[in-house]
Amino acid sequence: DTGVSQDPRHKITKRGQNVTFRCDPISEHNRLYWYRQTLGQGPEFLTYFQNEAQLEKSRLLSDRFSAERPKGSFSTLEIQRTEQGDSAMYLCASSPGPEGEQYFGPGTRLTVT
Amino acid sequence: GDSVTQMEGPVTLSEEAFLTINCTYTATGYPSLFWYVQYPGEGLQLLLKATKADDKGSNKGFEATYRKETTSFHLEKGSVQVSDSAVYFCALQGRGRRALTFGSGTRLQVQP
Protein backbone atom coordinates (compact mmCIF):
# COMPACT_ATOMS: atom_id res chain seq x y z
CA ASP A 1 0.00 0.00 0.00
CA THR A 2 1.76 3.11 -1.23
CA GLY A 3 -1.06 5.55 -0.54
CA VAL A 4 -2.84 7.83 -2.97
CA SER A 5 -0.57 9.16 -5.67
CA GLN A 6 -1.08 12.11 -7.98
CA ASP A 7 0.69 13.17 -11.13
CA PRO A 8 2.05 15.67 -11.90
CA ARG A 9 2.86 17.33 -8.60
CA HIS A 10 3.19 20.71 -10.24
CA LYS A 11 1.83 22.10 -13.49
CA ILE A 12 2.35 25.53 -14.98
CA THR A 13 0.24 26.35 -18.00
CA LYS A 14 -0.81 29.35 -20.01
CA ARG A 15 -4.34 30.61 -19.95
CA GLY A 16 -6.48 28.89 -22.52
CA GLN A 17 -4.53 25.62 -22.52
CA ASN A 18 -5.99 22.28 -21.47
CA VAL A 19 -4.52 20.30 -18.59
CA THR A 20 -5.08 16.79 -17.28
CA PHE A 21 -4.24 15.41 -13.87
CA ARG A 22 -4.09 11.79 -12.79
CA CYS A 23 -4.91 10.17 -9.47
CA ASP A 24 -4.14 6.60 -8.45
CA PRO A 25 -6.12 5.61 -5.36
CA ILE A 26 -5.23 3.00 -2.78
CA SER A 27 -5.78 -0.27 -4.60
CA GLU A 28 -8.72 -1.71 -2.66
CA HIS A 29 -10.59 1.59 -2.36
CA ASN A 30 -13.67 1.81 -4.57
CA ARG A 31 -14.49 5.43 -3.75
CA LEU A 32 -12.53 8.33 -5.17
CA TYR A 33 -12.93 12.07 -4.58
CA TRP A 34 -11.55 15.25 -6.13
CA TYR A 35 -11.20 18.47 -4.14
CA ARG A 36 -9.75 21.88 -4.92
CA GLN A 37 -7.83 23.97 -2.41
CA THR A 38 -6.93 27.60 -2.91
CA LEU A 39 -4.35 29.45 -0.83
CA GLY A 40 -5.45 29.99 2.75
CA GLN A 41 -8.64 27.98 2.35
CA GLY A 42 -9.76 24.47 3.12
CA PRO A 43 -10.37 21.92 0.37
CA GLU A 44 -13.63 22.23 -1.54
CA PHE A 45 -15.40 19.18 -2.94
CA LEU A 46 -15.52 18.82 -6.73
CA THR A 47 -16.72 15.31 -7.55
CA TYR A 48 -17.00 11.73 -6.31
CA PHE A 49 -16.82 8.29 -7.92
CA GLN A 50 -17.98 4.92 -6.71
CA ASN A 51 -16.08 2.47 -8.87
CA GLU A 52 -16.42 3.89 -12.40
CA ALA A 53 -19.67 5.76 -11.75
CA GLN A 54 -19.52 9.50 -11.12
CA LEU A 55 -22.21 9.88 -8.48
CA GLU A 56 -21.93 13.49 -7.39
CA LYS A 57 -20.66 16.73 -8.85
CA SER A 58 -20.30 20.07 -7.11
CA ARG A 59 -21.55 23.32 -8.59
CA LEU A 60 -17.86 24.28 -8.62
CA LEU A 61 -17.33 21.80 -11.44
CA SER A 62 -18.02 24.02 -14.42
CA ASP A 63 -18.49 22.76 -17.97
CA ARG A 64 -14.75 23.21 -18.52
CA PHE A 65 -14.02 20.49 -15.98
CA SER A 66 -14.45 16.79 -16.64
CA ALA A 67 -13.48 13.80 -14.57
CA GLU A 68 -13.36 10.14 -15.45
CA ARG A 69 -12.56 6.90 -13.74
CA PRO A 70 -12.41 4.21 -16.39
CA LYS A 71 -12.55 0.66 -15.05
CA GLY A 72 -12.91 2.00 -11.53
CA SER A 73 -9.19 2.32 -10.94
CA PHE A 74 -7.24 5.54 -11.59
CA SER A 75 -9.03 8.80 -12.30
CA THR A 76 -8.28 11.81 -14.47
CA LEU A 77 -9.41 15.39 -14.04
CA GLU A 78 -9.26 17.57 -17.16
CA ILE A 79 -9.62 21.33 -17.25
CA GLN A 80 -10.24 22.83 -20.66
CA ARG A 81 -9.45 26.42 -21.62
CA THR A 82 -7.78 27.14 -18.28
CA GLU A 83 -8.34 30.46 -16.57
CA GLN A 84 -6.24 32.22 -13.95
CA GLY A 85 -8.94 31.48 -11.40
CA ASP A 86 -8.26 27.76 -11.87
CA SER A 87 -4.89 28.16 -10.14
CA ALA A 88 -5.14 25.97 -7.04
CA MET A 89 -4.07 22.71 -5.48
CA TYR A 90 -6.11 19.80 -6.80
CA LEU A 91 -6.44 17.02 -4.25
CA CYS A 92 -7.52 13.45 -4.76
CA ALA A 93 -8.73 11.17 -1.98
CA SER A 94 -9.95 7.60 -1.80
CA SER A 95 -11.87 5.55 0.75
CA PRO A 96 -12.76 1.88 1.16
CA GLY A 97 -16.44 2.57 1.75
CA PRO A 98 -19.03 5.30 2.24
CA GLU A 99 -18.22 5.90 5.88
CA GLY A 100 -14.54 5.11 5.68
CA GLU A 101 -11.73 7.56 6.22
CA GLN A 102 -10.75 9.52 3.15
CA TYR A 103 -7.04 9.20 2.42
CA PHE A 104 -5.60 12.16 0.58
CA GLY A 105 -2.87 12.32 -2.00
CA PRO A 106 -0.15 15.01 -2.05
CA GLY A 107 -2.03 17.10 -4.60
CA THR A 108 -1.26 18.68 -7.96
CA ARG A 109 -0.48 22.38 -7.81
CA LEU A 110 -1.75 24.17 -10.92
CA THR A 111 -0.52 27.64 -11.85
CA VAL A 112 -2.20 29.36 -14.78
CA THR A 113 -0.21 32.27 -16.15
CA GLY B 1 -25.89 24.22 3.27
CA ASP B 2 -23.25 22.64 5.46
CA SER B 3 -20.44 24.86 6.72
CA VAL B 4 -17.51 24.80 9.15
CA THR B 5 -16.03 27.81 10.92
CA GLN B 6 -12.57 27.68 12.50
CA MET B 7 -10.64 30.21 14.50
CA GLU B 8 -8.22 32.16 12.38
CA GLY B 9 -4.51 31.66 12.71
CA PRO B 10 -1.72 31.62 12.97
CA VAL B 11 -1.69 30.35 16.51
CA THR B 12 1.77 30.67 18.02
CA LEU B 13 2.58 28.76 21.20
CA SER B 14 5.62 27.81 23.17
CA GLU B 15 6.49 24.14 23.55
CA GLU B 16 4.46 22.41 26.29
CA ALA B 17 1.70 25.01 26.17
CA PHE B 18 -1.99 24.03 26.09
CA LEU B 19 -3.68 24.17 22.70
CA THR B 20 -7.28 24.88 21.79
CA ILE B 21 -8.45 25.41 18.21
CA ASN B 22 -12.13 26.28 18.00
CA CYS B 23 -14.42 24.73 15.43
CA THR B 24 -18.16 25.20 15.02
CA TYR B 25 -20.39 23.81 12.32
CA THR B 26 -23.75 24.17 10.62
CA ALA B 27 -25.35 21.06 9.17
CA THR B 28 -28.67 19.36 8.68
CA GLY B 29 -29.08 16.39 10.97
CA TYR B 30 -26.12 14.82 12.69
CA PRO B 31 -22.93 14.88 10.69
CA SER B 32 -19.68 13.07 11.36
CA LEU B 33 -16.90 15.41 12.44
CA PHE B 34 -13.19 15.27 11.69
CA TRP B 35 -9.90 16.99 12.32
CA TYR B 36 -7.33 16.70 9.54
CA VAL B 37 -3.71 17.88 9.79
CA GLN B 38 -1.38 19.01 7.03
CA TYR B 39 2.30 19.00 7.91
CA PRO B 40 4.63 21.14 5.78
CA GLY B 41 5.13 19.57 2.37
CA GLU B 42 2.75 16.68 3.07
CA GLY B 43 -0.81 15.73 2.23
CA LEU B 44 -3.84 15.91 4.50
CA GLN B 45 -3.96 13.25 7.19
CA LEU B 46 -6.87 12.31 9.39
CA LEU B 47 -6.06 13.20 12.99
CA LEU B 48 -9.25 12.15 14.73
CA LYS B 49 -12.98 11.81 14.22
CA ALA B 50 -16.31 11.50 16.04
CA THR B 51 -19.50 10.18 14.52
CA LYS B 52 -22.16 10.99 17.11
CA ALA B 53 -22.96 13.43 19.88
CA ASP B 54 -20.77 13.27 22.97
CA ASP B 55 -18.22 11.05 21.21
CA LYS B 56 -14.62 11.99 21.93
CA GLY B 57 -12.05 11.46 19.22
CA SER B 58 -8.42 11.21 20.27
CA ASN B 59 -5.05 10.59 18.67
CA LYS B 60 -1.42 11.55 19.35
CA GLY B 61 -2.44 13.45 22.48
CA PHE B 62 -5.07 15.51 20.64
CA GLU B 63 -8.72 15.32 21.64
CA ALA B 64 -12.02 16.73 20.42
CA THR B 65 -15.56 16.16 21.72
CA TYR B 66 -18.66 16.27 19.52
CA ARG B 67 -20.95 18.81 21.21
CA LYS B 68 -24.38 18.82 19.58
CA GLU B 69 -25.83 21.48 21.86
CA THR B 70 -23.16 24.00 20.89
CA THR B 71 -22.50 22.53 17.40
CA SER B 72 -18.80 22.50 18.21
CA PHE B 73 -15.81 20.17 17.86
CA HIS B 74 -12.90 22.04 19.43
CA LEU B 75 -9.41 20.52 19.16
CA GLU B 76 -7.29 20.37 22.31
CA LYS B 77 -3.86 19.15 23.35
CA GLY B 78 -2.41 19.44 26.80
CA SER B 79 1.22 19.96 25.83
CA VAL B 80 2.23 20.84 22.29
CA GLN B 81 5.56 20.01 20.69
CA VAL B 82 7.51 21.71 17.92
CA SER B 83 6.61 18.73 15.72
CA ASP B 84 2.91 19.65 16.02
CA SER B 85 3.50 22.73 13.86
CA ALA B 86 1.11 22.29 10.95
CA VAL B 87 -2.20 23.46 9.52
CA TYR B 88 -5.26 21.92 11.16
CA PHE B 89 -8.58 21.58 9.34
CA CYS B 90 -11.94 20.86 10.90
CA ALA B 91 -14.36 19.04 8.59
CA LEU B 92 -17.79 17.48 8.55
CA GLN B 93 -19.51 14.80 6.52
CA GLY B 94 -23.25 15.23 6.36
CA ARG B 95 -25.50 12.22 6.89
CA GLY B 96 -25.95 10.39 3.62
CA ARG B 97 -23.27 12.48 1.94
CA ARG B 98 -19.83 11.43 0.81
CA ALA B 99 -18.16 14.81 0.40
CA LEU B 100 -16.29 16.44 3.25
CA THR B 101 -16.92 20.10 4.04
CA PHE B 102 -13.79 21.77 5.43
CA GLY B 103 -13.10 24.85 7.44
CA SER B 104 -10.46 27.30 6.24
CA GLY B 105 -7.71 25.82 8.41
CA THR B 106 -5.71 27.09 11.36
CA ARG B 107 -1.94 27.29 11.20
CA LEU B 108 -0.20 26.30 14.43
CA GLN B 109 3.38 27.36 15.07
CA VAL B 110 5.09 25.90 18.12
CA GLN B 111 8.30 27.56 19.21
CA PRO B 112 11.00 25.78 21.23
- Quick one: pLDDT band at residue A72, thresholds 50, 70, 90? confident
pLDDT at position B11 = 96
3-state DSSP assignment of residue B12 = strand
Contact yes or no for B99 and A105 at CB 8 A: no
Residue numbers in B near A56 (CB within 8 A): 98-99
pLDDT at position A79 = 97
A 10 A CB-CB count for A11 gives 18
pLDDT at position A101 = 85
Asked if residues B91 and B23 have their Cβ atoms less than 8 Å apart, the reply is no
Mutate to test the interface with B, among A30, A39, A45 (most CBs of B within 10 A): A45
Query: Over 90: is that where the pLDDT of A40 sits?
Result: no
pLDDT at position A22 = 98
pLDDT at position B8 = 86
Question: Which ranges in chain A belong to alpha helices (H)?
Answer: none
Rounded to 5°, angle at Cα B77 from B75 and B79: 160
- Quick one: pLDDT band at residue B79, thresholds 50, 70, 90? very high
Tell me what percent of the residues of chain A surpass a pLDDT of 70: 98
Beta bridge pairs of residue A21: A77
Query: Over 90: is that where the pLDDT of B9 sits?
Result: no
Q: What's the CA gap between A83 and A91, in Å, rounded?
A: 18
Strands (E), A61-107: 65-68, 75-79, 88-95, 103-104
Mutate to test the interface with A, among B6, B48, B52, B100 (most CBs of A within 10 A): B100
pLDDT at position B35 = 97
Query: Torsion over CA of B20, B26, B29 and B32, rounded to 10 degrees?
Result: -40
pLDDT at position A1 = 55
How far, in whole angstroms, is CA A78 from its chain's centroid?
Answer: 9
What separation in angstroms does the CA of B98 have from each of A98, A102, B29, B57?
Answer: 6, 10, 15, 20
Query: Over 80: is that where the pLDDT of B100 sits?
Result: yes
pLDDT at position B39 = 93
Of the candidates A104, A88, A7, the residue with the CA atom closest to the CA atom of residue B43: A104
* Chain B residue closest in CA terms to A58: B99
3-state DSSP assignment of residue B82 = helix
Contact yes or no for A41 and B98 at CB 8 A: no
What DSSP letter does each residue of B2-66 carry, written as one string?
-EEEE--S-EEEETT--EEE-EEEE-SS--EEEEEEE-TTS-EEEEEEE-STT-EEEETTEEEE-
Q: How far is B100 from chain A (nearest CA, A)?
A: 7
Cβ contacts of B42 within 8 Å, gap of 6 or more: A106
Instruction: Convert the pLDDT of each residue in B35-70 to its tens digit.
Output: 999 998 888 999 999 999 999 999 999 999 999 999
Q: What mean pLDDT comes out for the span B70-84?
A: 97
Query: Over 80: is that where the pLDDT of A2 sits?
Result: no
Cβ contacts of B70 within 8 Å, gap of 6 or more: B24
pLDDT at position A38 = 94
Contact yes or no for B102 and A33 at CB 8 A: no
Most confident stretch, A37-41, A68-72, B45-49: B45-49
- Please tell me which of the candidates A42, A58, A98 has its beta carbon nearest to residue B102: A42
What are the residues of chain A with a beta carbon less than 8 Å away from any beta carbon of chain B? 4, 31, 33, 35, 40-45, 48, 55-56, 58, 91, 93, 98-99, 101-107
